Amino acid sequence: MANPICFWSICIIILCTLSNKHSPLALTLTPVIRTPNLPVCAPSTVPATALPDDFLTCSQKVAENRNKTHPDIGKRTDEIITYYGYSSEIYNVTTFDGYILTIFRIPGSPKSPPAQGKPAVYLNHGITQNSDNWLLAYRDRNLAFKLADAGYDVWLSNCRGNSYSLGHETLNSETDSEYWDFSWHEMGVGDVPAAVDKIISVSGNEKILYVGYSMGCTQYFVGLSEIPSLNDKLKAAVLLAPPAYMGHATNPIRLVGAATVVGGQNIVGPLIGQRVDEPTKFQEYFNVSLGNFCTPTAARCGVCDNFGYLVFGFDAPQTNYTNVPNILSKIDNASLKTAAHYAQSINNCWFRQYDYGPTKNVARYGTVVPPSYNLTAITVPTHFIHGEADNFVVPNDVQITRDHMRPGVVKEVIKVDWSLFNHVDFVNAKDADTLVYNKVLQILNNNINTP
């Protein structure tokens, strides 16, 4: 059995050490710029940040909610959907390369019963997530229920490798490391087309709407760039925190990613079975769930919350203290190659296919460096929504991504009206419904009749 806890323990130590500018081990990694046409990269040293002292506020909030158990902990997506009175259906699809995926459908709600002809919308999640993450906000404050109440036929995808989509026609996810030989490229060219075709087939829609968050946006860019016919199947897209060009990212994970990519993946990969396991493995090793570990005030407010703020940025005002254990319980699997592909994008400033090294690149691609994705192939009306304090998908890179797309395709670039809004706030923030989801609904309503 792989030891993901060892891997993440090492990551935490590296992050805490290298992100401190006073540490003798602090690193500055100079990105390699291969041509003068590349966007300028940011220095890879993560600036030392003095976190505001939120221990007192955190302690008070935790004490207030000590005896409250979130009703969604331990429930599957379909169980959460039906628990709140919404209709639920389950579908399986198989990709061209044999991965078997699960898609959950919400065809109706208490406010909008199931009916033929509803506009279908495909929600695609981020890395280490699954369909549960669209349901994190309580009741009708989450995006999936909000759309269902508004009359949409809502489809929640699950990408290969997460706990809902571990099936394969020939490979075993537990015993075959080959199963985990994929990144968001394979998801973009495999998972997205399979899901789109299934949704169109069942819903009867000729075209559907698309909402992606984080990696769900990356898959959109890949899929529509590599398979131009996908453009003819989508009416419009809303992309939340869209990662493509990422050379200015300051997220501390870039330091771990750099170490993993530069010679380290061949060592780390075999040790952890080419995968990063979901937090249930945490309980196997320490006999306590991640949520329960973060329940005591000292651990929660002194370690867990601050680690999240260190990695993603401080936004205590948007922290839902009751929901944190539920959020932690929904973290899911990811392949190491997926994380490594993002690390490559951050450190080489390109948005291109996976870099296997010069020799393997020539054999696979016919070129020394991997081919870049042609974002000008995308013709679907696309809307970007990003956070000002997002250190993973920073505003400069959002603009660079837009500049690489065909003029007029990106209809608007919207900055969330909250100065502390970070990358994980799109699914975790307590006011995500008013800050983001209402705008998503407005955009989709305006594009229902797009030909």
Over residues 85-94, the pLDDT tens digits come to 999 999 999 9
Identify the pLDDT of residue 42.
61
User: What phi and psi values does residue 389 have, to the nearest 5 degrees?
Assistant: -100, 15
Whether residue 257 has pLDDT greater than 80: no
Identify the pLDDT of residue 12.
45
- What is the arithmetic mean of pLDDT over 49-55? 63
Whether residue 36 has pLDDT greater than 80: no
Report the alpha-carbon distance of residue 166 to residue 438 in Å, rounded: 33
Nearest CA to 247 out of 28, 37, 48, 38 is that of 38
Nearest CA to 160 out of 353, 340, 342, 337 is that of 337
Split at pLDDT 50, 70, 90, the class of 77 is very high
Identify the pLDDT of residue 283.
64
Report the alpha-carbon distance of residue 203 to residue 53 in Å, rounded: 50
Superfamily of domain 4-447: Alpha/Beta hydrolase fold, catalytic domain (3.40.50.1820)
Identify the pLDDT of residue 267.
54
The separation between CA 232 and the C-alpha centre of its own chain, rounded to angstroms, equals: 25
| pLDDT tens, position by position, 180-211 | 999 999 999 999 999 999 999 999 999 999 99
Split at pLDDT 50, 70, 90, the class of 43 is low
- What is the arithmetic mean of pLDDT over 147-167? 98
Q: Which of 70, 305, 423, 433 is catalytic?
A: 423
The pLDDT mean for the chain works out to 85
- What is the arithmetic mean of pLDDT over 427-442? 97
Higher-confidence residue of 21 and 386: namely 386
The answer to whether 132 and 213 are in contact (CB under 8 A) is no
Higher-confidence residue of 147 and 331: namely 147
- What is the arithmetic mean of pLDDT over 386-390? 96
Identify the pLDDT of residue 87.
98
- What is the arithmetic mean of pLDDT over 163-167? 97
Q: Which structure tokens are listed for 322?
A: 């009751």
Report the alpha-carbon distance of residue 438 to residue 432 in Å, rounded: 9
Split at pLDDT 50, 70, 90, the class of 37 is very low
Our CA angle for 346, 347, 352, nearest 5°, is: 65
Whether 423 is a known active-site residue: answer yes
Whether residue 377 has pLDDT greater than 60: yes
- What is the arithmetic mean of pLDDT over 141-167? 98
| pLDDT tens, position by position, 295-316 | 656 667 777 777 788 788 888 8
Whether residue 378 has pLDDT greater than 80: yes
Whether residue 396 has pLDDT greater than 50: yes
Whether 390 is a known active-site residue: answer yes
Identify the pLDDT of residue 6.
42
Identify the pLDDT of residue 449.
86
Report the alpha-carbon distance of residue 207 to residue 444 in Å, rounded: 13
The percent of residues above 90 in pLDDT, for the chain, comes to: 62
- What is the arithmetic mean of pLDDT over 361-376? 98
The answer to whether 343 and 251 are in contact (CB under 8 A) is no
Whether residue 440 has pLDDT greater than 80: yes
Split at pLDDT 50, 70, 90, the class of 49 is low
Lowest mean pLDDT among 282-291, 327-336, 342-351, 384-393: 282-291
Identify the pLDDT of residue 411.
98
Whether residue 262 has pLDDT greater than 50: no
Higher-confidence residue of 138 and 148: namely 148
Lowest mean pLDDT among 144-148, 212-216, 389-393: 389-393
The answer to whether 288 and 395 are in contact (CB under 8 A) is no
How many residues are recorded in the chain?
451
Whether residue 131 has pLDDT greater than 90: yes
Whether 431 is a known active-site residue: answer no
According to the 3-state scheme, what is the secondary structure of the chain?
CCCHHHHHHHHHHHHHHHCCCCCCCCCCCCCCCCCCCCCCCCCCCCCCCCCCCCHHHHHHHHHHCCCCCCCCCCCCHHHHHHHCCCCCEEEEEECCCCEEEEEEEECCCCCCCCCCCCCEEEEECCCCCCHHHHHCCCHHHCHHHHHHHCCCEEEECCCCCCCCCCEECCCCCCCCHHHHCCCHHHHHHHHHHHHHHHHHHHHCCCCEEEEEECHHHHHHHHHHHHCHHHHHHEEEEEEECCCCCCCCCCCCHHHHHHHHHHHHHHHHHHHCCCEECCCHHHHHHHCCCHHHHCCCHHHHHHHHHHHHHHHHCCCHHHCCCCCHHHHHHCCCCEEHHHHHHHHHHHHHCCCECCCCCHHHHHHHHCCCCCCECCHHHCCCCEEEEECCCCCCCCHHHHHHHHHCCCCCCEEEEEECCCCCCCCCHHHHCCCHHHHHHHHHHHHHHHHCCCC
Q: Which of 390, 397, 425, 433 is catalytic?
A: 390
Split at pLDDT 50, 70, 90, the class of 348 is confident
Report the alpha-carbon distance of residue 79 to residue 106 in Å, rounded: 12
Whether residue 317 has pLDDT greater than 60: yes
| pLDDT tens, position by position, 110-119 | 999 999 999 9
Q: Which of 157, 203, 214, 335 is catalytic?
A: 214
Evaluated on CA atoms 253, 258, 264, 265, the torsion sign reads: positive
Lowest mean pLDDT among 26-30, 40-44, 325-329: 26-30
Identify the pLDDT of residue 322.
78
CA distances from 412 to 283, 398, 415, 443 (A): 44, 11, 10, 10
Whether residue 292 has pLDDT greater than 80: no
Report the alpha-carbon distance of residue 84 to residue 66 in Å, rounded: 23
